[in-house]
C-alpha cells in the first residue's frame, strides 16, 4: 500500500482513457476508439512522518493556523 493517504485512506483509482479519431464522412468509424487502462494516483506529501493527500494537508495546515491565532489572541 504505497499510495494511500494516512488520514482519509484515499488511494489508487483505475479508469479508462480513450481517444476518438475522425470517422469517414457519413459512415461508421473503421476502427473503434481504443480503450486503455489508466491509473489515477493521489497527490501524496510527507508531512510530520505521515503521508497525506493534498486535500488533507491543506485542511490540517488550516486547522494548525487557526489554533495559533486563537492562542495568540487569548
Long-range own/partner contacts, residues 41-49 (CB < 8 A, 24 or more apart) = 41/3, 41/12, 42/3, 42/4, 42/5, 42/10, 42/11, 42/12, 44/3, 44/5
The answer to the question of residue 4 being in a domain is no
Question: What is the predicted pLDDT for the residue at 5?
Answer: 95
pLDDT of 9 = 94
Give the domain extent around 49. 13-73
Q: Has residue 1 been placed in a domain?
A: no
Regarding pTM above 0.85, the answer is: no
Q: What is the pLDDT of residue 35?
A: 74
Residue 33 lies in a domain: yes
Instruction: Give 1-13 pLDDT, tens digit per residue.
Output: 589 999 999 999 9
Question: How many structural domains does the chain have?
Answer: 1
Quick: pLDDT tens for 11-50: 999 998 766 655 555 556 556 666 788 999 999 999 889 9
Residue 45 lies in a domain: yes
Residue 67 lies in a domain: yes
Q: Does residue 6 lie in a domain region?
A: no
Please name which of 57, 39, 55 lies closest in space to residue 47, comparing C-alpha atoms.
Answer: 57
CA distances from 15 to 10, 20, 21, 35 (A): 15, 16, 20, 10
Amino acid at each position: 500500500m504505497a499510495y494511500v493517504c494516512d488520514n482519509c485512506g484515499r488511494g489508487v483509482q483505475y479508469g479508462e482513457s480513450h481517444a476518438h479519431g475522425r470517422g469517414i464522412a457519413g459512415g461508421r468509424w473503421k476502427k473503434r476508439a481504443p480503450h486503455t487502462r489508466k491509473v489515477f494516483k493521489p497527490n501524496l506529501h510527507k508531512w510530520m512522518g505521515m503521508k497525506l493527500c493534498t486535500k488533507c494537508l491543506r485542511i490540517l495546515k488550516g486547522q494548525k493556523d487557526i489554533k495559533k491565532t486563537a492562542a495568540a489572541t487569548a
